Amino acid sequence: MAGPQYDRPVIEFSTVGRTYPGPPAVEALHPCDFRINEGDFVTIVGPSGSGKSTLLNIIGLLDSPSSGTYLLEKIDTGAISEARRAALRSERIGFVFQSFHLLAHRSATENVELAMLYQRVPRRERRIRAEAVLRRVGLEHRLRSLPTQLSGGECQRVAIARALVGNPSLLLCDEPTGNLDSKTTESVLELLKGLNEEGMTIVVITHDSYVAAQGQRTITIRDGFLTEQVGNQVVR
């Protein structure tokens, strides 16, 4: 299992909070501290409105905290230009969403290739890398299929392949099994666990307690407050 042999931080939050100005102002994320290391598999669970998307958007550099410091791989994300943040986001973070976000008229391979369009990867190399990562997620027999010809679980595998192809340091998944039945959910979770065992750092946001229980660590968010159970103790 990945885990203890790594202690390189990927995400470090110190007193990171987010208040939406309003009016009325909403303190969606109360100032919090946590650290996620390379090779961690962390689930973040909370009910609707608890602040999951707020947290995900900050981790994913889609939004900025209103207080505190967020280091991504030791880089102070509050101290760099918007252009540098956008570059970090595209190079270091792979996003996986509930609704897959695949282009309907493009094959599995083309959907993955599109993720490399702005990374100056030559066309031939794009194809080679796309096919390799689709093999890695178990879709070697589906390279030419369109999303409409794929099951929900296969579409999510294409989306995971697309997220991985740029070689990110962090895979950030927002309700990755939200549209899947329980059997398919299981297979996507197995895929994520396998990637984690190969060393990928994974953060899964979910409102599903079964999915949450699959993480090595589970952080609970409620009304913008984070808690983490370690052994039988609640810390923070």
Among 51, 60, 147, 176, binds ligand ADP (CB under 6 A): 51
Burial class of residue 28, CB neighbours in 10 A (0-12, 13-18, 19+): buried
Interaction between residue 48 and ligand ADP (CB under 6 A):
yes
Interaction between residue 50 and ligand ADP (CB under 6 A):
yes
Angstrom distances, CA of residue 210 to CA of 33, 43, 181: 25, 11, 13
Among ligand ADP, Mg ion, none, the one that 216 touches (CB under a kind-dependent 5 to 8 A) is: none
| Cβ distance to ligand ADP smaller for residue 28 or 61 | 28
CB of 28 to ligand ADP, least distance (A): 3
Among ligand ADP, Mg ion, none, the one that 46 touches (CB under a kind-dependent 5 to 8 A) is: ligand ADP
Among Mg ion, ligand ADP, none, the one that 65 touches (CB under a kind-dependent 5 to 8 A) is: none
Q: Residues 36, 58: contact at Cβ < 8 Å?
A: no
Interaction between residue 98 and Mg ion (CB under 5 A):
no
Q: Binding to Mg ion (CB under 5 A): which residues in 35-64?
A: 52-53
Interaction between residue 97 and ligand ADP (CB under 6 A):
no
Question: How far is residue 158's CA from residue 53's CA, in Å, rounded to a whole number?
Answer: 23
Among 52, 126, 142, 162, binds ligand ADP (CB under 6 A): 52
CB of 52 to ligand ADP, least distance (A): 3
Interaction between residue 20 and ligand ADP (CB under 6 A):
yes
Interface residues with Mg ion (CB under 5 A)? 52-53
Interface residues with ligand ADP (CB under 6 A)? 20, 26, 28, 46, 48-54
